[in-house]
Amino acid sequence: MDLKKDLLNLIKGEVKDDSYTLDFYSVDASIFRIKPKIVVFPKNTADIKTLVNYVNKYKSDNKNLSITPRSAGTDMGGGTLNESIIMDLNHHLREIKDFGTDWVSCEPGLFYRNLEKETLKRNLIFPSYPASKSIASVGGIVANNAGGEMSLRYGKTEDYINSLKVILSDGQEYEFKKINETQMHEKLALKTFEGNIYRQMYELISQNYDIIQAAKPKVSKNSTGYLLWKVFDKKANTFDLSKIFVGSQGTLGIITEIKFHLVKTEKYSKMLVIYLNDTAQLANIVNLVLQYKPTDFESYDDKTLKLALKFAPQIAHLISKETNIFKFAFLLLPDFKIMLKMRSLPKLVLMAEFNSDNMIEIDKNINELNKALLKKFNLFTHIPKNSIEEQKYWIIRRQSFNLLRKKIKGKQTVPFIDDIIVQPKKMPEFLLELNAILAQYSQLTYTIAGHVGNGNFHIIPLMDMTDANQRAIIPKLAEKVYDLVFQYGGSMSGEHNDGLIRGPYLEKMYGKKIFDLFKEVKNIFDPKNIFNPHKKTDANLQYSSKFIKKDNKHNI
């Protein structure tokens, strides 16, 4: 079998196996490096169908033959890496197909930034965008069940999928969306591959309904496993298989078209910034702020702030092309004044943003919240005067990972405990134990930022990946942190998904019964394991560890 020759003869898109291409697609934003055999750039859905049929045909001859879909390549868990065929959907499949009054239909390779430009023209937005929205694609957002700062108010990607078109393992494209009881009976009666999928999934979920519902993590955000609890709504008697693909990381089929539900943008926004010199009262502060229903409630730590100060010119440029280092210094004056009063850098900076069409309502909420915080906790707070000043805080929060990744020499960003989440009310005890674990590894430098309103933290260590002793820390520390998260009823991923890094711990998180149901789901949709192997149910630590990078070269 001459893979490149075969594929060149079969599809209209490009097929590449040169060293530059293979090296580029060997990495994403994770700690792994896996060189593929070949990279394909399908021109259209017909090309994808052809590729799936080809892999199906020759899988028995080559058990390692498989397809991993990839778009922007910003995955932090290694979900887009594979030793066989990488399918780049970002190159050609990136069109907006259609708009409605509150929805948009688009292809998976579309950059979110380009989608947002068009939705904002219509005063609409897809609110579950990630912090990496300037470089992420919509396909990756769906595949990871992404969320971001607005998830606190609006929920996650799983809540905004009207329908998905997906090419399954039989090489055919199907549309999945919410269907009623009558439509469900019609699907169950089909004597086709699609009918078989519906029959098996209906049986699996209905027979295990109670334990599936009980298995849903008791946190506001979760991107692990398969979302079985979202498919069958017994009260409404609806069945929605599109939900099983959200967060599935391309392990069940290849998404070719997404119909997103959109929400109206609001005219006004205003921010309250809260500076903490210790985290002892963090949970109480968070729970007080949440009573006032902010749209976003974000945080970053003192290490992130130091990073922003160190790379002030880059931060200034990101705020606005007109903002130079002197203007940026002026924007920092309120922070410097507060730090002088605190006599130190704040341990945490919290940002509560309120959006509404009613500015009077926003001012009322912020002023009342500010008074309540000052009275109860004697904190330092600041209300930015304008959107440019507010943008400063957002840029520092959103760009911390990119600055670490691109500017720190001799070390590598190592995201492996980067997305843990617990209930906000459990944060005091949880953070105390978490810090005790991290303190055991004094050689690690790390930043903490995240969605504090959800109890969702991004911990990004900096490590020298050329040092075998430092690499050895990764599985040991990961297991300790995940065990703590599970002890507190949390999830090891609020929005970044499983990939190679968290997949090996899925059974420990959910238990054998639910994990076995996940395996059944994979087998129903992909019995030959042609889609994105070594993720989700067939992930294992031995395989993942084999591909941890041994250098400090920057990723994408």
Confidence of residue 410 (pLDDT cuts 50, 70, 90): confident
Statement to judge: residues 11 and 55 lie in one domain: yes
pLDDT at 323 over 90: no
> In whole angstroms, what is the distance from residue 223 CA to residue 202 CA?
22
Q: HSE on the CB side for 540, CA within 13 Å?
A: 3
pLDDT in tens, 459-477: 988 899 999 999 999 999 9
Residue 304: its pLDDT value, please? 84
pLDDT at 399 over 80: no
Query: Measuring CA to CA, which residue among 346, 348, 315, 350 is closest to residue 329?
Result: 315
CA distances from 45 to 53, 108, 254, 533 (A): 12, 11, 10, 21
Residue 539 sits in which domain range?
A: 3-91+531-546
Q: Which of 264, 293, 322 lies at the terminal end of a domain, its last residue? A: 264
Q: Residues 126-151: what's their mean pLDDT?
A: 94
Domain assignment present for residue 18? The answer is yes
Confidence of residue 110 (pLDDT cuts 50, 70, 90): very high
Most confident of 107-111, 145-149, 276-280, 406-410: 107-111
Q: At residue 92, what are phi and psi to the nearest 5 degrees?
A: -120, -35
CATH code for the domain in which residue 10 is found = 3.30.43.10
Q: Residues 25-38: what's their mean pLDDT?
A: 96
Residue 319: its pLDDT value, please? 67
Mean pLDDT of the chain: 93
pLDDT at 122 over 70: yes
pLDDT in tens, 229-279: 999 999 999 999 999 999 999 999 999 999 999 999 999 999 999 999 888
CATH code for the domain in which residue 214 is found = 3.30.465.10
DSSP per position, 361-402? HHHHHHHHHHHHHHHHH--EEE--SSHHHHHHHHHHHHHHHH
Residue 474: its pLDDT value, please? 95
Domain assignment present for residue 354? The answer is yes
pLDDT at 322 over 60: no
**How many domains does the structure of the chain reveal?**
3
Residue 338: its pLDDT value, please? 87
pTM above 0.85, yes or no: yes
Domain assignment present for residue 519? The answer is no
Statement to judge: residues 163 and 248 lie in one domain: yes
Q: Which of 264, 281, 306 lies at the terminal end of a domain, its last residue? A: 264
Domain assignment present for residue 177? The answer is yes
Statement to judge: residues 101 and 145 lie in one domain: yes
Provide the CA 485 distance to its chain's centre, in angstroms.
Answer: 18
Statement to judge: residues 74 and 171 lie in one domain: no
Lowest-pLDDT choice from 148-152, 408-412, 514-518? 408-412
Statement to judge: residues 150 and 210 lie in one domain: yes
For residue 177, the one-letter residue type is: K
pLDDT at 408 over 70: no
Domain assignment present for residue 442? The answer is yes
Contacts 24+ apart (CB under 8 A), 197-201: 197/168, 197/241, 197/524, 197/525, 198/239, 198/241, 200/524, 201/231, 201/241, 201/244, 201/521, 201/524
Domain assignment present for residue 552? The answer is no
Tokens for 275? 């500076």
Statement to judge: residues 295 and 192 lie in one domain: no
Confidence of residue 500 (pLDDT cuts 50, 70, 90): very high
Q: Which of 230, 264, 298 lies at the terminal end of a domain, its last residue? A: 264
